[in-house]
Chain A
Amino acid sequence: MHKKDDIENKTGAPTPLRSRRKFIGAAVATGGVGILSRELAVLSACGSADTAAQIVLPTTTKEVTPFKIHVPQAALDDLKKKLANARWPDKEPVTDWSQGVPLAKAEALVEYWRTHYDWRRVESTLNGLPQFRTQIDGLGIHFIHVRSNHENALPVILTHGWPGSILEFLQVIGPLVDPMAHGGKADDAFHVVIPSLPGFGFSDKPTEPGWRLPRIASAWALLMMRLGYSHYVAQGGDWGAGVTSWMAKQRLSGLAAIHLNLPILFPPPPPPPGGYTAAEQQALDHLGKYASDASGYASIQGTRPQTLGYGLADSPVGQAMWIYEKLQGWSDNKGGEAISTDRMLDDITLYWLTDTAASSARLYYESFAKDFARMPLDLPVAVSIFKGDFFAPPKIWGDQTYSKLFYWNEVPKGGHFAALEQPELFVAELRKSFPQMR
């Protein structure tokens, strides 16, 4: 329907950024398509052997351009070849996860990845959803955008963190957009926007420093405006909570309220005259344990993301374990599996195929020490604490920090990856939080 030449021409004049975006066979619409247009043309992978596993993301304009994913087979073959060639370290001298992913667990995951895992399944799921790219502040931003059939639905922008992705939200899109089909009421409907953070997934990788949380927050506001939403809410956990909190702090036009499943309530408020309560003390202990034993990844990503990136860009085993450790450490997996192996590998494979280890780590370099800390907010704030997360702050810290804290609930099940681990509870929390914002 569109000439292949046109498309190749588009990708033939890459910006410096593009020249590094390799091996994503992307689908790209050509010409002035509307938000909901489904006119797509598939970009074929480059032909030569050297670049068969490489792809280039389509360039973006300020238009909202439909986007589909087609990873070239060569990239998947290359992944399997690398997995088959893996060289392993020796076994850890401990019998738990205290030195990281145990070798036996690592080998089992990689064996499954190599012999059973099917990327085309998740690719097809993603391509069943309306996806787009649009240029904001110089950067192509990838996002899922599903409009509800209910005209009065409340627009919500859901932001993932690290090592998460848009994939965390796949199971909640249906129930949020079409509540009637999922045990809800028409009044519970949302229009859902799920962007990939800059440097993550199919968003562009920034080529210059400065993509800190406040800048991402502003970009999200532009995105919502571009999609025609003038009254909306925002939601996030992990870095997504950081972005969402900054959106609230900036009082962005149209943003009515936010919901956080990991409120940025650290460092904690100063102790009251009588000292911290037991609940506060427990949260402090969590923070202390995180700082002393569980934040090495943040420390290296926050200071030398490029150096770390070399090993993770070149070794799929390395990339997988770097993420797997966190999926294990931060999910509510006492007594069983919190996230299925396929779902974990969907997320891991997305990082691998997009070669975004360094670019995603760079968010720590940009913002971890500067922007990711407790900030008073005067916009309405709702909070759901999933008790299996590695940090569960007490409500009193929320009261002391958010002047309009209108919802606080502690959910007994689920951890850091709330929407991924407990999609039904996550949906219920959003439905309960936002009725008065409609």
Chain B
Amino acid sequence: MKNDLEHRAEVAVPLNSRRKFIRAAVTTGGAAILSAELAVLTARGNADTAAQIVLPAATKDVTPFKVSVPQGAIDDLKRRLASTRWPERETVGDWSQGVPLQKAQALVAYWRDKYDWRRFEARINAFPQYRTQIDGVGIHFIHVRSPQQNALPIILTHGWPGSVVEFLEVIGPLSDPTRYGGRAEDAFHVVVPSLPGFAFSDKPAETGWDVNRIARAWATLIPRLGYERWVAQGGDWGAGVTHALAHQRPPGLIAAHVNWQFVFPEKLPEKPTPAEQKAIDRAALFANDQSGYFREQGTRPQTIGYPLADSAAGQALWIYEKFQSWTDNHGNPEDALSVDAMLDDISLYWFTDTAASSARIYWENTRSGKAGLSGGRIELPMAASVFPHEIFCPPKAWAEALWPNLFYWNEVDKGGHFAAFEQPKLFIEELRKAFRSRRG
């Protein structure tokens, strides 16, 4: 059996030859969706490759998957962190030039000395995970079926620099509400995929994977899991994918919810209301001062990938900055998210070497014109929750103008860009309230 697995890994496609250092668990043969028969792929023996792994090849079967990063990769990370070379201190007293050196060094020291990846690995492996090939790319996802037969299937899509990690806290309450003080009729079957190029999904070896193509892949994934009537949810690029799904209206998709709304009017109002002005101002601030990462990732994802693939500190701070800038905090990201939670996400990017491949989603969508502030007119029934510390918060009137079937809109009082990660209870409540009218 082990030979089979090694053989599989040896005939990796060009893509996989670069997928190094994830020792993944893989089932052999046509496993059913819920099969738990797993065989662990051992890491290769020699010293050079002890930190490298190859993702199991995906087929159109839905194959159970578990995460097991080889110790060699963890040791390599700690060695890199211990030998980090630093820039000088910033010349300002705040975050305006990026992560302050002192904060950076504290985060890296914690990552090296205290952070426990195995804790996270056990946590994510407690969820049923799978990989299946769609449109040529192996897609990794968590899939938790509710014990409630009539539960509503939902696909939750993360963005950048997020991941499936953002949703781990909400999967239990969404899929099994009665265990968490909720009502059986609020139950969801929950599907949480990793975007192509992110985490344990394959890295596309060809161009074209913009939000439209990802949305089509999701519309293939859901029926493959046996669902005929479903809803979609997302924030950040996940909102982009969800807007795209709403446009495409694949069979069975009955409604969508987004926690970031791309509803800017084509022509900005000449006399904006205070709420409109605030959205315009926040979008302008983003364009002028906060979108350097976006422009670089949108134009030269490969070049920015080199330092981030090679420097663990570089990868960590590239992401950490966003946790500070985009969460609802009092100045420090730790006000909104625990250090361990942030490092779970950062470590996932690091171990999977996905800095360049995740940055590429900006290049793809910039090229295909899907990176704008307006998703255009959407006929599908739409729901939205506005978290106040989002990058920009459009007023309801703009959504009403573009979404004729807007059926739910709520502005909550706390939380930011990483809604489910920062405010899991509120996020759950929003999804329950939003989709209550779409059931049955």
Tell me if chain B binds chain A: yes
B306 adjacent to A299 (CB under 8 Å): no
Question: Which secondary structure characterizes the binding site on chain B?
Answer: helix
Q: How far is the CB of B384 from chain A (nearest CB, A)?
A: 29
Q: What chain A residues lie within 8 Å of B360 (beta carbons)?
A: 93, 99
B309 adjacent to A87 (CB under 8 Å): yes
Q: List 6 A-B contacts (CB under 8 A).
A: A87-B310, A103-B302, A296-B304, A306-B90, A310-B86, A362-B91
Determine whether B45 belongs to the interface, using a CB cutoff of 8 Å to chain A: no
The 8 Å CB contact of A306, one of B97, B309, B312, is: B97
CA distance A343 to B302 in the complex (A): 23
B98 adjacent to A304 (CB under 8 Å): yes
Give A318's nearest chain B residue, CB to CB.
B307
Residues 31-43 of chain B, each 1 if its beta carbon lies under 8 Å from chain A, else 0? 0000000000000
Residues 302-333 of chain B, each 1 if its beta carbon lies under 8 Å from chain A, else 0? 11111111111111111001000000000000
B98 adjacent to A308 (CB under 8 Å): yes
B87 adjacent to A310 (CB under 8 Å): yes
Determine whether B4 belongs to the interface, using a CB cutoff of 8 Å to chain A: no
Q: With A90-B357, A307-B99, A325-B303 as given contacts, are A315 and B310 in contact (CB-CB < 8 Å)?
A: yes
Q: From A13-21, A61-69, A173-181, give the one contacting chain B.
A: A13-21
B86 adjacent to A313 (CB under 8 Å): yes
A315 adjacent to B307 (CB under 8 Å): yes
In chain B, positions 147-175 with a C-beta closer than 8 Å to chain A are none
Q: What chain A residues lie within 8 Å of B307 (beta carbons)?
A: 311-312, 314-315, 317-319, 321-322
Determine whether A303 belongs to the interface, using a CB cutoff of 8 Å to chain B: yes
Report the contact-size class of chain B (Cβ under 8 Å from the partner): 35 or more
Determine whether B49 belongs to the interface, using a CB cutoff of 8 Å to chain A: no
In chain B, positions 54-101 with a C-beta closer than 8 Å to chain A are 80, 84-92, 97-101
Q: With A93-B207, A304-B293, A308-B98 as given contacts, are A314 and B363 in contact (CB-CB < 8 Å)?
A: no
Q: With A300-B293, A303-B292, A319-B307 as given contacts, are A100 and B300 in contact (CB-CB < 8 Å)?
A: yes
Q: With A99-B301, A209-B91, A296-B300 as given contacts, are A90 and B19 in contact (CB-CB < 8 Å)?
A: yes
Give A18's nearest chain B residue, CB to CB.
B88
In chain B, positions 167-214 with a C-beta closer than 8 Å to chain A are 203-207
Q: With A310-B104, A359-B88, A362-B97 as given contacts, are A302 and B292 in contact (CB-CB < 8 Å)?
A: yes
Determine whether B15 belongs to the interface, using a CB cutoff of 8 Å to chain A: yes
Q: What chain A residues lie within 8 Å of B302 (beta carbons)?
A: 89, 92, 99-103
Give A309's nearest chain B residue, CB to CB.
B87
Q: How far is the CB of A30 from chain B (nearest CB, A)?
A: 26
Q: With A99-B363, A106-B306, A299-B296 as given contacts, are A310 and B99 in contact (CB-CB < 8 Å)?
A: yes
A312 adjacent to B357 (CB under 8 Å): no
Residue of B205, B207, B291, B305 with most chain A CB atoms under a 10 A cut-off? B305
A87 adjacent to B353 (CB under 8 Å): yes
In chain B, positions 205-262 with a C-beta closer than 8 Å to chain A are 205-207
The 8 Å CB contact of B299, one of A16, A91, A294, A310, is: A294
B296 adjacent to A318 (CB under 8 Å): no
Residues 189-215 of chain A, each 1 if its beta carbon lies under 8 Å from chain B, else 0? 000000000000000011111000000
Q: With A99-B300, A297-B300, A317-B306 as given contacts, are A90 and B353 in contact (CB-CB < 8 Å)?
A: yes
CA distance A303 to B307 in the complex (A): 18
Give A206's nearest chain B residue, CB to CB.
B91
CA distance A92 to B303 in the complex (A): 10
Give B77's nearest chain A residue, CB to CB.
A87
The 8 Å CB contact of B97, one of A89, A296, A305, A312, is: A305
Q: What chain A residues lie within 8 Å of B97 (beta carbons)?
A: 304-307, 362, 365
Residue of A87, A90, A94 with most chain B CB atoms under a 10 A cut-off? A90
| Total contacting residues, chain A, CB less than 8 A | 61
Q: What chain B residues lie within 8 Å of A300 (beta carbons)?
A: 292-293, 295-296, 304
Residues 258-298 of chain A, each 1 if its beta carbon lies under 8 Å from chain B, else 0? 00000000000000000000000000000000000111110
Determine whether B425 belongs to the interface, using a CB cutoff of 8 Å to chain A: no
CA distance A362 to B315 in the complex (A): 20
CA distance A144 to B124 in the complex (A): 58
Q: With A16-B89, A93-B204, A299-B296 as given contacts, are A314 and B98 in contact (CB-CB < 8 Å)?
A: no
Determine whether B374 belongs to the interface, using a CB cutoff of 8 Å to chain A: no
Give A23's nearest chain B residue, CB to CB.
B85
Q: What chain B residues lie within 8 Å of A16 (beta carbons)?
A: 89
CA distance A321 to B204 in the complex (A): 22
Determine whether B376 belongs to the interface, using a CB cutoff of 8 Å to chain A: no
Give B299's nearest chain A residue, CB to CB.
A296
Residue of B86, B291, B321 with most chain A CB atoms under a 10 A cut-off? B86
Q: How far is the CB of A78 from chain B (nearest CB, A)?
A: 8
CA distance A359 to B207 in the complex (A): 35
CA distance A326 to B291 in the complex (A): 21
Q: What chain A residues lie within 8 Å of B293 (beta carbons)?
A: 300, 304
B309 adjacent to A355 (CB under 8 Å): no
CA distance A20 to B89 in the complex (A): 8
Determine whether B290 belongs to the interface, using a CB cutoff of 8 Å to chain A: yes
The 8 Å CB contact of A299, one of B91, B101, B204, B291, is: B291
CA distance A294 to B305 in the complex (A): 16
Q: What chain A residues lie within 8 Å of B269 (beta carbons)?
A: none
A306 adjacent to B101 (CB under 8 Å): yes
B87 adjacent to A315 (CB under 8 Å): no
CA distance A299 to B187 in the complex (A): 45
Q: With A99-B302, A304-B97, A307-B318 as given contacts, are A89 and B88 in contact (CB-CB < 8 Å)?
A: no
The 8 Å CB contact of A315, one of B15, B303, B311, B356, is: B311
> Which 8 pairs show the lowest CB-CB distances between chains A and B?
A318-B307, A311-B314, A307-B98, A100-B303, A311-B307, A300-B292, A90-B18, A100-B302
CA distance A30 to B321 in the complex (A): 44
Q: How far is the CB of A104 from chain B (nearest CB, A)?
A: 11
The 8 Å CB contact of B207, one of A94, A208, A296, A311, is: A94
